[in-house]
Amino acid sequence: MMASKKELERHDLAGVLVLVTLLCSSSLVFGNDVVHHDNVAPKQPGCDNDFVLVKVPTYIDNDEKDVFVGVGARFGPTLPAKKKDSKQRRVVLADPPDCCSTPKNKLTGEVILVHRGNCSFTSKTNIAEAAGASAILVINSRKELFKMVCEVNDTFKEISIPAVMLPQDVGATLRESINRNLNVSLQLYSPDRPSVDVAEVFLWIMAVGTILCASYWSAWSDKEALIEQEKLLKDAADEYIRPDENSYSSVVDITTTSAILFVVIASCFLVMLYKFMSHRFIEVLVVIFCIGGIEGLQTCLVALLSCFRFFDHARDSYVKLPFLGTVSYLTLGVTPFCIVFAVVWAAYRRVSFAWIGQDILGIALIITVLQIVRVPNLKVGTVLLSCAFMYDIFWVFISKWLFHKSVMIVVARGDNSGEDGIPMLLKIPRMFDTWGGYSIIGFGDIILPGLLVAFSLRYDWLSKKNLRGGYFIWAIMAYGLGLLVTYLALNLMDGHGQPALLYIVPFMLGTLLTLGNKQRELENLWNKGEPERICPHEPSQ
């Protein structure tokens, strides 16, 4: 049993308004940001290490404090994988700070903290080793981690001490503690990261499952709408009355123009997020997410409870309220629960288990949006996904050349906001990864492909195709395969943020266009988006 027209109409505006915000989170992101502008840096004997992330637990007067993350250099020895195999050593400041000349202070196995610049990384490390340091920590001039490589025609002695780069803010923290005459020490080790974490499997299941649920709901709604239209036509046939074609309309059909404008507006909004990202801006996004989550959770709960006869009376009984109009008693009953759920999540969103509430609200919102917003044919779906494909590539990769950072990744992580990221993401903590963190996927990577999957199932149902002979099973398989390839690319590229639509869109469009052409239905799919009407009284679209 589906929600009635009166239940759905109130959600149209909220669903459409939140779409732009959702698309801004359409990049799949995971791991620390490690940057290097020279991807052709030479490898040579003694300078051919793989880049690894390094854990740096710090101690103040032998009491363990913060654990920071750095990146190992192309040169130097391999760091131990376990903490117990790493020695705890005292940290001292370099004098001069850049360590481009012999330090004035005598070193007896300490870790030396140096500034980046004025000479090569290998020169700093050779000088530090000659002065008696056991390791060198290079502090970057930015918050990102920079890969330390060897220069072209670089000549250096064989290096036997580890070199690790730390972000600018970490260096400032260590330097402040040392200047306060505190005894600062640390360890250096690099735990192995699992190739695949269980969190990625669950996130894949969550994304595919959400699209499956939303697609079946959308197709069932269309089926009920068709039955209702046929009944009205049958009743009106003798009186030559043409029923109102919009009598059941509670969905928003995307047009080709709106698909293009949608991506343009989303790009403008993304830049605004990038430029003005702050704690208060995140708070605004949290409010927007909560409003959308309440609407989505309410719609899903009303539809779910409507399936039980026990709630028939509450579902079919309405009360008129100021500003809200006509609302069912069932909606009144579930709304307070939805509001409390969203408010509690917002208040405790920084606790370790808050991701559960975020995912519940997010999934409900995605399902509701896919129920309300639809693509009418394959042409609109192709334009929308193609624009989103270019949007993802531009804002993840090309934006680095214009803004010196990947705009999409900065926004998704919530840099400079004091938060772990924007809330428009599904996330699961990495369960067997000693590095911790989350595997995440943006709402846009589910909603935009989901629109095409839902369209394919509606077409199959209206044309009475079986599962094997239809388009839906191939569309959902193409989405799942594209998302799987995204995760493979994510792990192969050291956890750098990947635009999921870069992999998903070619799989989906290629599959549907090829299959439509093979079944000689491509023209119908492309222009009309529905099978030929059997009933002669049915109004043509």
Residues annotated as part of the active site = 392, 445
Q: What is the DSSP letter of 2?
A: P
Distance CA 245, CA 353 (A): 47
The DSSP result for 52-91, as a single string, is -EEEEEEEETTEEEEEEEEEE-SSSPPPPSSGGGS--EEE
Strand residues in 336-480 grouped as ranges (E): 373-374, 425-429, 438-442
User: How far, in Å, CA of 139 to CA of 148, rounded?
Assistant: 11
* Alpha carbons 328 and 305: distance in angstroms, whole number: 13
Q: Of 532, 525, 240, 230, whose CA–CA distance to 382 is shortest?
A: 525
Pairing of the two strands 145-146 and 184-186: unpaired
Packing angle, helices 256-276 and 12-23, rounded to 10: 60
- Tell me the one-letter amino acid at 309: R
User: Residue 65 corresponds to which amino acid?
Assistant: K
- Helix 329-347 vs helix 354-372: crossing angle, to nearest 10: 140
Largest Cα–Cα distance of the chain, in whole Å? 104
Are 67 and 86 in contact by the 8 Å Cβ rule? The answer is no
What end-to-end distance do the CA atoms of the chain give, in Å? 26
Amino acid code (one letter) for 240: Y
455: number of CA atoms within 13 Å, CB side? 26
According to DSSP, the β-strands at 318-321 and 325-328 are antiparallel
The answer to whether 213 touches 450, Cβ cutoff 8 Å, is no
- Of 488, 510, 512, 492, residue with least CA distance to 500: 488
Q: What are phi and psi of 94, to 5 degrees?
A: -75, 145
3-class state of residue 526 by DSSP: helix
Q: Is 414:350 a contact under the CB 8 Å cutoff? A: no
Please tell me the distance from the alpha carbon of residue 98 to that of residue 452, in angstroms, as a whole number. 56
For residues 278-311, b (16+ Cβ closer than 10 Å) or e, as one string?
A: eeebbeebbebbbbbbbbbbbbbbbbebbeeeeb
Element holding 113 (H helix, E strand) = strand 111-115
